[in-house]
Structure formats: structure tokens, C-alpha cells
Structure 1
Amino acid sequence: MGLTEWAYKLSEEMLSEPLPRRWGHSLGVAERARSLSPILSADAELLEAAAVLHDVGYSPAIATTGFHPLDGARFLRKRGADERVTRLVAHHSCALLEAEERGLQEDLAAEFELERPALVDALIFCDMTTTPDGTQTTATARLNEIVERYGPDTIVGRFIQRAAPEIHAAVGRVDQRLKGVSASAQPM
């Protein structure tokens, strides 16, 4: 079984029944990841696997700390997942900032190294341009939706507001890379 096939199967097993909306979001994020294959080359499969697994830590079967990037990454490591996928899940969408809000920054940083910046940006792009239902959106709309859903003064609300500049920057960097590929594919 290939990496992405394994990732889809595991994500579906952990999310589809207990959290069908989260499963729909994960499928949408994975679809966005596939759309980035022109700028990812050899890492396209890796990103798609991380994308479909990025929220696996929400599964009630494995949620222990209440911080889904850490719970998901620990679970994936125990399941023998590719270490790069595990690191992307651990650090997806500026997770270090949320870990700081939760008092878990040292745990996250000590247990999981950061993946290379271009892949971190790509996963931020995929997650932050996908609605909770799995459809495409803008980063601004997604950030506003998160603040509205959780409230501005909650842990998640505070974190996402702090992370917004980096999220917008990451989405911008990915957009630029995509435009570069599109421009080079234009006939002369």
C-alpha cells in the first residue's frame, strides 16, 4: 500500500464516523494538496498524505492533550508513519503559536522538528484555503470563520489572530510559486 492510500485509509478510519465534517475538511485539504503538485514535484505525495491526516488528532479515540497537532503526530509516530508526514502534521498551520497558548510549545518543539519551509507553507495554504466542509475559500474568509466559530478570546481565537500574518504570508508565497509555474507554462 502506498503512502497516500495508507493515509486516506487511516484518516477515514479515525475521522469519518465520529467527525464527518472534519473528515470532509481533510478531504478538501488533500484535494488542495493535489493541486499543488506542479510546485512540489517529488514531495507531492508526501504533502497529500500530510494534508489528509493533518486533523487526525481531533479523533476522540486518540485526543489526549486536547491539542490536535500534537495528539495527531504522536499517534502517527506510534503507527509508524513517515517521519516527514508526522512532522508536517505536528506543525501544521502555525501550530507552535497555538502550542504556546496551551503551554505545550516545549513538548511540540522537542518531539517534532520542523519540516522544510516550502512544505510547511504548502500545508498552511491547503488548510487555510479550505472551509470546514471541504470547499475552497480565501485565507481571509477562513481566518474570519475560525475566529467566529471559536470566539476571539478563546485559545484558538487568540492563536489564529496571532498567526494570521504568517498564514497570509505563507499563502502568498505559495500563490507566487503557482503563478511562476503558470507563467513558465505559457506558450511563447
Structure 2
Amino acid sequence: MRPAERSTPTPADFIPEARRLAERLVSPLGRRWLHVQAVAARADELIGAIPDADRNDLVAAAWLHDIGYSPEISHTRFHPLDGALYLRDQGWPALIVDLVAHHSGARYEAEQRGLGAELAEFPSPDGPLLDALVTADLTTGPSGERLTYDERISEILDRYPADDPVHKTWLTAGPILAHSIRRTEQRLAGGQPR
């Protein structure tokens, strides 16, 4: 059943549904599934950095953030956009859809790919929730291993050739998204992010 079809939807219901959908779409992709599982676990560790009301949305979005890699739903070949389009069409809550659309520097890669206007259909949920999703994704390696942010960015730059849009994206987005990680860490420590 789609989330929008439930008679009394609650955010807690989204997590098991998100996990099932991610497993169906991403588990055939091998190590990508290991990454997604570890990002969801990492998101659960980071819930102290966001308001209580957003915690289930964070974990659901973490499960769903890479579903756009699935050949079943990949139409633009830009996974944040493909995932968001699919989730929107399936009636998922706008906040979760927008988090998937804008996770981990998607706006910068959309520009590289000429898909900025398409991504702009989804409002960016900037703030603690997006910062926490970025932190979960960008401190988790491609096989689910825990990495520092710098290790993750180095891994991405090494994995993609210099002329690839992903590589070009991270030359610009890397230093900017480091602030998301720092803000999340400050929130976890009980401080005010700068």
C-alpha cells in the first residue's frame, strides 16, 4: 500500500515501507545495497541532531536516498531526481521526496548534468534534517564502511574520472557540504551550529 493511501498515516509507518521499497529496488545492485543499509543505520545514530518530529523522516529518507539508481525507475540517469520523481508519483510525503531530491549536493550535480530546472521542481529542505542526511550519506562508503567526510570525498574523486559530472561536482560541492557535516556534529554535541 502506498503511504498516501493509508487512512491514518503516521511518520513511523514510513520507515518499514521505505526499507521494503529500498530493498526491492536497490538490493539487486550489490554493494549499493550495503551502502544504503549503512546510511540508514548512520541516520538512526544522528537523530539527536534534529528535532524529534523529523526523526522518522530522516531514517525513511536515508533508506530511500539511492533508489534512483534502480534501472526500474532510472529515466534521467540522475539518481536523486529519478528517486524523487518516483516517490512523488507513488504518493510519498513531500518532505521525504524533497530530501531524496536534494541529498548530498544534488543541486551541484544537477547543474553539471543540465538538470537544474528539473531538480528545482522540488523545494530544497535546507536545515538540520538535510544536514543530517548529508552526514549519514557522506560518512558512509560505497560498501557500507564508516569513513570520515574527507575519506569519502577522496573516494568519490578517485572512483570517477576527472571529466565525469560526479567528479566535477565534488570539486565544487565538497568544501560546501563539509559545513553540513560540521553543523550536524555541533548539533549532536549540543552546541549551536555556525
TM-score by length of 2: 0.89
**Structure 1 runs, 4 residues or longer, greater than 6 Å off:** none
- Kept in 2, the 8 Å contact 1:69–1:92? The answer is yes
Q: CA deviation at 1:125?
A: 0.5
**Structure 2 residue 123 is matched with structure 1 residue 113:** yes
**Structure 2 residue 22 is matched with structure 1 residue 11:** yes
How far apart, in 2, do the equivalents of 1:82 and 1:134 lie?
Answer: 27
Corresponding position of 1:144 = 154
Q: CA deviation at 1:2?
A: 0.9
Match of 1:61 among 66, 72, 90: 72
Structure 1: which 5+ residue stretches go unaligned?
A: 182-188
Corresponding position of 1:185 = none
Alpha-carbon deviations, 1:5-34, whole Å to 9, x = none? 0000000000102x0211110111111110
Alpha-carbon deviations, 1:61-84, whole Å to 9, x = none? 111111000000000111111110
TM-score by length of 1: 0.92
How far apart, in 2, do the equivalents of 1:166 and 1:137 lie?
Answer: 18
- Kept in 2, the 8 Å contact 1:14–1:59? The answer is yes
Alpha-carbon deviations, 1:99-147, whole Å to 9, x = none? 00000001111x1001141111111101000011112110100000011
One-letter code aligned to 1:42: A
Corresponding position of 1:155 = 165
- Kept in 2, the 8 Å contact 1:128–1:167? The answer is no
State the identity as a percent: 45
How far apart, in 2, do the equivalents of 1:87 and 1:166 lie?
Answer: 19
How far apart, in 1, do the equivalents of 2:105 and 2:169 lie?
Answer: 9
The number of equivalent residue pairs is 179
Match of 2:110 among 86, 99, 115: 99
One-letter code aligned to 2:31: R
Corresponding position of 1:122 = 132
Structure 2: which 5+ residue stretches go unaligned?
A: 1-11
One-letter code aligned to 2:170: I
**Structure 2 residue 145 is matched with structure 1 residue 135:** yes
How far apart, in 2, do the equivalents of 1:83 and 1:20 lie?
Answer: 28
**Structure 2 residue 61 is matched with structure 1 residue 50:** yes
